[in-house]
Structure 1
Amino acid sequence: MRYLKALILILIVSFSTVSCFEDNDDNLISASQINDFVWKGMNTFYLYKDDVPDLANDRFPSNDDYATYLNGFNSPFDLFESLIHQRETVDRFSWIVDDYIALEQLFSGIITSNGMEFGIFGFSPTDTNRYGYVRYVLPNTSAASQGVKRGDIFYAINGTQLTSDNWRSLTSTDNYTINIGSYEDSGTPETTDDFVTNTSETVTLSKTQYTENPILTNKVIDVGGIKVAYLMYNGFTGTDQFNAELNDTFGAFKSANATELVLDLRYNPGGSVNTAILLSSMITGQFTGDIFSTEQWNSEFQQAFEDENPEFLISRFVNNNDGAALNSLNLSRVFILTTRSSASASELVINSLSPYINVVQIGTSTTGKYQASRTLYDSPNFSRSGANPSHTYAMQPLIFKSLNVNGATDYFNGLFPEPNNILAESIRNLGVLGDVNEPLLARAISIIDGTGKSSSPASSKSENNIKITGSSKDLIPFSNEMYIDKDIPDDLIKRVLFE
């Protein structure tokens, strides 16, 4: 019952006999205190609350029963994981951290990086050996200064062969040396006889704190007199600075009279919903005030919003960013380049624009993340303000799923290009990002100029036996989050909490 939960929140941590442990700020704190925060946060906000019996409002007959339950878990991580609904098939994206400072830095684009963004691949399902290939290099980093470039292959770290079990640990250290390899195709069009040969070349890389600008490359290309804007956008970071830079970039596109746009989201894991709305509004401009997307929360929040503030559930196209007019292109068509690494807010842009304009998706299917999360802190209203100073635990649970104006959602297997636009990146022919001959961009240009020219023969070679099994983004917690930037009214939180 709700009245019982209210008493729990006020009293339980004061009167329970519980174990203590050290948080990362070296303060002793009751394990049950943090467990109480975990349970009440999930009970209040979790999207799949109705599917988790232990989150039911009437789960505990008394405070003693609740205290016993909390004390049955050795750590907040164990409790949190026990409350996740179908981790492998439904909720792949909810997390808890013991250092929300690092989480906040991540959402601001601050990471620790050597500048080498890479993918991991293998040649056979039965072969545990793995190899790395460089996807792109961040400017002003160790990798950039060492001359690492897109398409480079490495087979080992510090002389140790990469495998399916060790590549994460080997590449997680702050300093390491990559052993460069050479991709060999045996002179045949098949990939079943491809392999990587070892060389004596090495490159030593060092990680430092780095703020990644999500705009990696932007330009305007002249295609037979048609001005085609190209933007490689690698994260919906959501800061005021980067949102302003995005608007400035579209201002440059507009000044150049661009009438087509190729938006490269192939490595973009997502981020801020607000930035997704801004980007989509810059692409269009003719739909200001129309529904961009809607939200579906757990049953209690959904009902509360529908009763008191149904507009809160709706995101609309906008024409300004905090009062600054958007530089919108008013396009009726956009080309979006994707891979399996395109997730969350990237998919939100595709799904939400599709009912309004022609979205030509080129590449491969996306990740399949249609749910959004919110950072919950241990405070009375779960916001950053008033957070418990005794620890730095925070949660990032899924709190709603997004739907476009037509109600489309639940794209668990990802969003797919039309069959004639399915084009996987070829490790042997990655091309230069932003170059007209790069295979995915070349496919978009071929549609724009009407030639129907496909990618180069090398990139169309079958690579069915080559599997991409990971990337450097996997080393960054929450890299594929889609999170909201708007505040939930305190009175509505209280209604859900105590009703």
Structure 2
Amino acid sequence: MKKIIIVFAAVLAFSCSKDDDLSLPNTVDPDGSANVEVQDFMWKAMNFWYFWQANVDDLADDRFENTEEGRTAYTAFLDSEDDPASFFENKLQYIEDRFSFFNEDYRELTNSLAGISKSNGLEFGLVQFQDSDEIFGFVRYIVPNSNATSANIQRGDLFTGVDGQTLTIDNYIGLLFGDNDTYTLNMADFENGNIVPNEEEVTLTKEEGLAENPVFLSKSFTIAGENIGYIMYNQFTNEYDDDLYAAVQDLKSAGITNLIMDLRYNPGGSVNTTRLLASMIYGTNTSDIFLRKRYNDKLQEQFNDSQLEVYFADKINGETINSLGFNKLYVITSASSASASELLINSLEPYIDVIQIGDVTRGKNEFSTTLVDDRENSYLYTPSRVNNINPDNQWAIQPLIGRNENADGFYDFTSGLQPDYELKEDYSNLGIIGEENEPLLAKAIEVITGTTGKRDFTVKYPINIISSSKENSLMSDKMVDDTVYDLEF
């Protein structure tokens, strides 16, 4: 059963829907362009929610007076860009903000947060050739039940072109992530240290409504007397919380005493799902702080300390969590591990020993939420209120609205979380996901068992990605605050 979460229920008590309570122009000039209504929504929502509101001069509360002259100036400001996308990026977004984004259709955005997208199911990374503008792609994994499952392509395969055009820094976005639903990959081989185009082609088609279960693989091993559980988890998606819990419980029933969470391709997602997973691993003491929230100063002062604290959970969808109760967790990471993946590591650090294996993470420590033109609901997207969204404005914005710090007060990892055991993926030796000799999993097993053996972990061709299929999705690098509140102001 899918779960619908009521987002920010507590915040409605200090709704920003009454424009006349703010020192802002409460209307816009009717002579403005067609986009003025959209950009009015964007400005007012960002003025209220944006984490860096105080750092953007054009978002200041006193930027425009609530007078006839102020209304004219405000409308001219809204009309200063030709379209809402440019307005958001050029007028509202703080220069250090790497992750806020928008979409002209809130449905597409909210579907992406639920793990539903238009996709061919091929997940890949992109690497730039040294001293060249050309790039190549390597297949990370195939989403089950997708178009790519029926194609002759698998993990580790390489490609250098699309539709006969060589991939470069300048054209890869249009070729791989443009409006072309069907494209043909020009494949390549790895020969004597070089990536060499061959004559093979693979044609793939993006399909509407592809739902990816983020629990990609779950299994257990008994090695050198250690019972080891392994889960490759590729997105924190709350619609699949029950699947995640079932995987953990199956491993618990198998008698595991160690757990490896493989988050190397996980770009983030739901804060609440992260909290639930942490509770499944560590424990269900609802007095233990999972995280503390920090909003912009205008919002922060409206909460007391207890209302800014989120605790570990003891239930999932009404069912009591049967936690593993571990005091140690092994996590596999890469440069694609971001936001909620980093939150899991950071929020567990005060309580258990988290051993990180792989590469430095992305460095995304802010959280966001979906805002739509529902002014009576503080602009918050709430599934039960879709009929209240302005029918003339279907835009949604996903701004960063705060930072999460752990129980020790630590949050500063914008340069990424450093691994305890550094090991990059090697595109000449990716291995098969979930097999004991796959390099990153093998390294985690070695750390657990303490048996070094004769395994050589030398990385001959390290992967330094410039982008990936997930990084060009709406869900890229997102930490979405969907925790449920039950508070009164």
User: Scaled by the length of structure 2, what TM-score is found?
Assistant: 0.89
Query: What code does the residue aligned with 1:112 have?
Result: K
Distance in 1 separating the partners of 2:281 and 2:316: 14
Structure 1's 68 and 170: CA in aligned 2 closer, same or farther, altered over 3 A?
closer
Alignment of 1:404-443 (within 5 A): 404-418=406-420, 421-443=421-443
Q: Deviations over 1:291-340 (max 9, x none)?
A: 0111110001101112xxx3231111111113111231110111000000
2:449 aligned with 1:449: yes
Q: 1:133 aligns with which of 113, 138, 144?
A: 138
2:47 aligned with 1:43: yes
Q: Secondary structure at the match of 1:460?
A: coil
| Kept in 1: contact 2:215–2:231 (CA 8 A) | yes
* Aligned residue in 1 for 2:77: 69
Distance in 1 separating the partners of 2:394 and 2:93: 25
Distance in 2 separating the partners of 1:129 and 1:301: 46
* Aligned residue in 2 for 1:202: 201
Distance in 2 separating the partners of 1:330 and 1:490: 29
Task: State the Cα distance separating 1:394 from its structure 2 match.
Answer: 1.1
Q: Deviations over 1:178-225 (max 9, x none)?
A: 1221112x3xxxxxxx32112112221112121000000100111123
Q: 1:79 aligns with which of 87, 93, 103?
A: 87
Query: What code does the residue aligned with 2:236 have?
Result: F
Q: 1:362 aligns with which of 357, 366, 375?
A: 357
Long gaps (5+) in structure 1: 21-30, 187-193, 493-499
Distance in 2 separating the partners of 1:325 and 1:180: 49
Distance in 2 separating the partners of 1:453 and 1:43: 58
2:104 aligned with 1:98: yes
Q: 1:143 aligns with which of 124, 139, 148?
A: 148
* Aligned residue in 2 for 1:158: 163
* Aligned residue in 2 for 1:474: 471
Alignment of 1:308-319 (within 5 A): 310-319=305-314
Query: What code does the residue aligned with 1:360 have?
Result: I
| Kept in 2: contact 1:8–1:63 (CA 8 A) | no
Distance in 2 separating the partners of 1:450 and 1:277: 30
Q: 1:171 aligns with which of 176, 191, 194?
A: 176
Query: What code does the residue aligned with 2:173 have?
Result: R
Q: 2:322 aligns with which of 312, 321, 327?
A: 327
| Kept in 1: contact 2:423–2:459 (CA 8 A) | no
Distance in 2 separating the partners of 1:238 and 1:117: 21
* Aligned residue in 2 for 1:247: 245
Distance in 2 separating the partners of 1:80 and 1:270: 23
Task: State the Cα distance separating 1:5 from its structure 2 match.
Answer: 5.5
RMSD between superposed Cα atoms in Å = 2.1
2:359 aligned with 1:353: no
Query: What code does the residue aligned with 1:51 have?
Result: N
Q: Secondary structure at the match of 2:291?
A: strand
2:269 aligned with 1:271: yes
* Aligned residue in 1 for 2:404: 402
Distance in 1 separating the partners of 2:172 and 2:217: 28
Q: 2:303 aligns with which of 282, 302, 305?
A: 305
Higher relative contact order (CA 8 A, sep 6+): 2
| Kept in 2: contact 1:289–1:318 (CA 8 A) | no
| Kept in 2: contact 1:9–1:36 (CA 8 A) | no
2:386 aligned with 1:388: no
User: Scaled by the length of structure 1, what TM-score is found?
Assistant: 0.87
2:49 aligned with 1:12: no
Identity in percent = 39
Structure 1's 92 and 278: CA in aligned 2 closer, same or farther, altered over 3 A?
same
Long gaps (5+) in structure 2: 1-15
Task: State the Cα distance separating 1:79 from its structure 2 match.
Answer: 2.3
Task: State the Cα distance separating 1:4 from its structure 2 match.
Answer: 7.8
Distance in 2 separating the partners of 1:337 and 1:449: 16
Distance in 2 separating the partners of 1:230 and 1:174: 35
Task: State the Cα distance separating 1:488 from its structure 2 match.
Answer: 7.3
Query: What code does the residue aligned with 2:278 have?
Result: S
Task: State the Cα distance separating 1:487 from its structure 2 match.
Answer: 6.3
Task: State the Cα distance separating 1:32 from its structure 2 match.
Answer: 1.6
| Kept in 1: contact 2:32–2:76 (CA 8 A) | no
Query: What code does the residue aligned with 1:468 have?
Result: I
Query: What code does the residue aligned with 1:72 have?
Result: S
| Kept in 2: contact 1:281–1:288 (CA 8 A) | no
| Kept in 2: contact 1:176–1:206 (CA 8 A) | yes
Task: State the Cα distance separating 1:135 from its structure 2 match.
Answer: 0.5
Q: 2:338 aligns with which of 340, 343, 346?
A: 343
Distance in 1 separating the partners of 2:297 and 2:71: 25
